[in-house]
């Protein structure tokens, strides 16, 4: 837990700025809290602002500044589950709330959520399935107003100039064969992006041809190579679930980590009652622990949503549409 006495934050009320170390929390009409992100968090160097407005016997906390985080967003209110003590003995003090907010900035992977939490679903999924990528994205988006795309963040170095080599096959020195489809490729590019390919080229006499599993869809291999050569990411809704599964399998087999994590996240977000067993079976067949973990989280959220909807209908309130990733346990600070 963070020590609130070491946190750099202050409130301004009616133009008067004071440190919380020196004055008690007094909210007359509304009050702004300004604070710096923890130095060892993904948001190091950024400053944030929260507006606190009295509302009856409670206070509404509204995040004011841009941030990429599962539980906080500019203009969004902070859920009451973060403002209320776990034993329901009342509202937390300002110091207690700020302690917990700073902890969640420093360790976003401590986030869980309740039914009322207004969350960033993409950030929550990335944080649970690919924490390293989430940290890079959080740094890029906070407080940068023109952050790079996910493709650039996942791809690392820009390899867009290599795509014409894949398209034309110019100067190719290796052929990848999938059933009857041939891809004219380049050892240097493949070895640079995949340690598996690099090991194969170092230790095996391939004769200029590598034959991949003929059961793999050549269209999935083409998209896999587009990422290898140009960091081109296949969008979540651009292909069907089976293609995402094929790409996830290829990326895992050849240890293209960024691509593997991307398609794990895509499958978790696209999971529904119709395809959940297909995705779960694929994860089991591949022995993919990361995908199995992401699917288990998504299925638990989906089951909770269905249970909530069933209960609502039983009470005569009609169906309630909920996003699977928005249903989970009460927010807490227990690490995942």
pLDDT in the model for residue 297: 87
Task: Say whether pLDDT at 327 is over 50.
Answer: no
pLDDT at 118: 66
The dihedrals phi and psi of 48, each to the nearest 5 degrees, come to -125, 165
pLDDT at 225: 93
pLDDT at residue 250, as a whole number: 95
Q: Closest Cα partner for 95 from 2, 195, 229? A: 2
Q: Lowest-confidence range among 36-40, 59-63, 81-85?
A: 81-85
| Across 33-37, 305-309, 328-332, least confident range | 328-332
Check if the beta carbon of residue 234 is closer than 8 Å to that of residue 256.
no
Within 10 Å of residue 247's Cβ, how many Cβ atoms?
A: 28
326 has a pLDDT exceeding 50: no
DSSP 212-269: PPTTS-HHHHHHHHHHHHH-PPPPTTTS-HHHHHHHHHHHHHTT-HHHHHHHHHHHHH
**pLDDT reported for residue 278:** 94
> How confident is the prediction for the chain on average, in pLDDT?
76
Q: Is-contact 67 48, C-beta < 8 A?
A: yes
Please report the pLDDT score of residue 125 as a whole number: 81
Angle between helix 257-270 and helix 121-129 axes, rounded to 10 deg: 130
pLDDT by residue (tens digit) across 175-185? 999 988 999 99
- Would you state the pLDDT for residue 309? 62
Q: Flag the least confident range among 114-123, 176-185, 196-205, 326-335.
A: 326-335
Q: Residue 308: which pLDDT band, with cuts at 50, 70 and 90? A: low
Q: What is the spatial distance between Cα 33 and Cα 52, in angstroms, rounded to a whole number?
A: 8
Given this model, what pLDDT does residue 280 score? 92
- Confirm if 141 and 126 have CB atoms less than 8 A apart: no
- Please, which residues have CB within 8 angstroms of residue 165's CB and are 6 or more apart in sequence? 171, 172, 186, 189, 229
Mean pLDDT of 291-311: 81
Contact assessment for residue 114 and residue 333, using Cβ atoms and an 8 Å cutoff: no
Q: Residue 191's pLDDT band (boundaries 50, 70, 90)?
A: very high
Which helix or strand (DSSP H or E) is residue 58 part of?
A: strand 58-63
pLDDT band at 60 (very low <50, low <70, confident <90, very high): confident
The DSSP symbol for 4 reads G
DSSP 148: P
pLDDT (tens digit per residue) in 139-153: 888 766 567 777 667
Mean pLDDT of 124-140: 82
**Mean pLDDT of the 254-261 span:** 91
């Amino acid at each position: 837990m963070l020590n609130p006495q070491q946190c750099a934050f202050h409130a301004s009320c009616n133009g008067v700025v004071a440190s919380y170390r020196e004055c008690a929390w007094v909210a007359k009409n509304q009050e702004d809290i300004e604070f710096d992100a923890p130095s060892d968090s993904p948001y190091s160097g950024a400053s944030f602002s929260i507006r606190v407005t009295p509302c009856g016997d409670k206070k509404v906390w509204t995040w004011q500044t841009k941030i990429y985080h599962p539980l906080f967003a500019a203009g969004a209110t902070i859920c009451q589950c973060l403002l209320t003590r776990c034993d329901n003995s009342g509202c937390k003090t300002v110091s207690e709330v700020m302690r917990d907010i700073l902890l969640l900035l420093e360790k976003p992977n401590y986030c869980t959520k309740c039914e009322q939490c207004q969350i960033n679903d993409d950030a929550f999924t990335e944080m649970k399935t690919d924490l390293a990528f989430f940290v890079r994205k959080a740094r890029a988006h906070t407080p940068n107003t023109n952050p790079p795309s996910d493709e650039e963040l996942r791809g690392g170095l820009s390899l867009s100039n290599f795509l014409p080599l894949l398209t034309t096959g110019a100067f190719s020195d290796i052929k990848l064969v999938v059933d009857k489809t041939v891809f004219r490729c380049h050892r240097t590019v493949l070895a640079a992006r995949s340690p598996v390919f690099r090991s194969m080229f170092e230790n095996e006499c391939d004769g200029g041809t590598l034959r991949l599993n003929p059961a793999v869809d050549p269209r999935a291999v083409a998209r896999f190579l587009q990422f290898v050569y140009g960091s081109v990411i296949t969008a979540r809704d651009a292909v069907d679930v089976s293609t995402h599964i094929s790409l996830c399998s290829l990326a895992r087999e050849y240890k293209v980590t960024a691509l593997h994590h991307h398609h794990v996240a895509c499958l978790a977000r696209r999971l529904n009652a119709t395809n959940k067993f297909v995705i779960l079976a694929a994860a089991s067949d591949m022995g993919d622990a990361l995908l199995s973990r992401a699917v288990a989280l998504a299925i638990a959220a989906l089951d909770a949503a269905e249970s909530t909807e069933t209960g609502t209908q039983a009470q005569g309130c009609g169906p309630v549409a909920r996003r699977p990733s928005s249903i989970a346990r009460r927010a807490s600070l227990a690490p995942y």
